[in-house]
Structure 1
Amino acid sequence: MPLGMLRPTPLVEQATEHLREQITGGHWPIGTRIPGENALAKTLGVGRSTVREALRALAGAGLVQARQGSGVFVIATEPADDWSTRLRRAAITDVYEVRMMVETQAARLAAARRTDEDIASLEAALQARRAAAGGDDGAFVDADIALHAAVVAAARNPVLDDLFAEFAPRLRGRLVDMLELLELRHADPNPGDDTHAALVDAIRRGDGEAASRILQTELEQTLALLHRNAD
């Protein structure tokens, strides 16, 4: 597809898409040095700043790389997978291992940073988990995830919040399947209640070591069950 003048709305997005098409369509193969900013700006009918932002977006997608003194070169013809895509494709046990590392440190931070509001949220989430024990496996897993999300929120780190929010949807379905296939709630409809209560208490007391240790043990047990379910 030949390059051409762009419409006057939103120019950076349009420029990025036009340049991306040159790469993904094979017009600029890997190793190609793409035209300079001035040439691209003239061809697309935009300013150099627009071209520069478009090239940054393409670099962020792993398609091009700037080489000092040489120009910008095509290094891939397909965009690199974003974080969400990689999570969807990853083995559930790999995702859970990363979740375990994130959450155990979040629990340690939560014990140091928790506020009265956080404690109230944790206690409410614990009670909601207990109430969900009378429901189906899906409702119970949702309540369990909500309690863990409250622990992460108490760490007062928005990046940790975002990471957990990415993990949760990927994990939910497999956790529900695991409960059903292994019949884990038949003998006890509220498995892990003592452990989760101890976790909330450790955070309330400000004992980061205990909170991290309790959560590590609980998540390791679930990871072992996931491995068993994957076999």
Structure 2
Amino acid sequence: MQPVRRTSLIAQVTEQLRAEIRSGRWSIGSRIPTEPELTELTGTGRNTVREAVQALVHAGMLERRQGSGTYVIAASEVGGTLAKYFADAEERDVLELRQALDTTAAALAARRRDDTDIATLRRLLTERGENAVGAGDIAAITADVQLHRAIVVASHNAVYLEFYDSLLPTIEHVIHSRTARSDDSYDAEHRTLVQAVIDGDAERAAQATRCFLGSLIAEYPEPR
């Protein structure tokens, strides 16, 4: 039996880490385990783990943040490529795209949500409301992003979710940028949206999303 080549071992560990992301065990926006934890998880050395992580950084699925750790930013290489493209987009352009995506997702979610989706939406709405999104609170912004993602999850459309996930880092950046200028957190609009999804009212859910994002878009000048 020939010994396992190091390159093959790196490829195996890379695939193992990729599987953690694809399965959702390491969700978009979450920090992955530390390097010592990964060596224990994979049963390999630090150099192997470091190269496997770097491969996923190059693929656009992971992002290293100085002094904080390594975070999941996309669920696939395709999502990573899209995330890099969206990173330089204008804020208004992102919001206009979100208006189309979120409105459709809200209508689908109202028709397809299950008990697990409803429980998740209620929890995230509460978490969002416990902090001041308008003041730029990190926990509240995270809950806000995850609330909108949970609506897409409730649409039960895997392709839709993967595309939306590729937008999440950019969406979060836009929210941070906007909350630095405004303290309006649109709490009532979010409560209306979530209740419409829970009630199974697709038309009301779509309308609530359309109006809410339309208000955000109106804060930006019309492009010339």
Scaled to the shorter chain, the TM-score interval is 0.5 to 0.7
1:108 aligns with 2:102: no
Contact 2:103–2:209 under 8 Å retained in 1: yes
Specify the alignment match of 1:172 in structure 2: 172
Once the two structures are superposed, residues 39-70 of structure 1 have per-residue CA deviations (whole angstroms, 9 ceiling, x without a partner) of xxxxxxxxxxxxxxxxxxxxxxxxxxxxxxxx
Letter in 2 for 1:179: T
Q: What's the secondary structure of 2:218's corresponding residue?
A: helix
The one of 210, 215, 218 equivalent to 2:209 is 215
Name the amino acid aligned to 1:222: L
Q: Structure 2: which 5+ runs fail to align?
A: 1-6, 9-79
Give TM-score scaled by structure 1 length.
0.57
SS at match of 1:132: coil
Give the drift of 1:222. Answer: 1.2
Could you tell me how far apart the structure 2 residues matched to 1:91 and 1:202 are? 30
Kept in 1, the 8 Å contact 2:135–2:179? The answer is no
Q: How does 1:1-231 map to 2 (within 5 A)?
A: 82-133=81-132, 136-137=135-136, 138-181=138-181, 183-185=182-184, 191-225=185-219, 227-228=220-221
Deviation at 1:195, TM superposition (A): 1.2
| Inter-partner Cα distance in structure 1 for 2:180 and 2:135 | 10
Q: Is the Cα contact below 8 Å between 2:106 and 2:197 reproduced in 1?
A: yes
Distance in 1, Cα, partners of 2:93 & 2:135:
27
**Secondary structure, counterpart of 1:109 in structure 2:** helix
1:177, 1:229 → 2: CA distance? 18
TM-score when scaled to structure 2? 0.59
Q: Considering only CA atoms, is the larger Rg found in Structure 1 or Structure 2?
A: 1
The alignment's C-alpha RMSD in Å is 2.8
How many matched pairs? Answer: 149
Contact 2:107 2:205 (8 Å CA) reproduced:
yes
Cα pair distance change 1:117/1:199, threshold 3 Å: same
**Structure 2: which amino acid aligns with 1:156?**
H
Q: 1:94 Cα deviation (Å)? A: 1.4
Q: Which runs of 5+ in 1 are unaligned?
A: 1-8, 11-80, 186-190
Kindly provide the amino acid, as one letter, of the partner of residue 192 in structure 2.
A
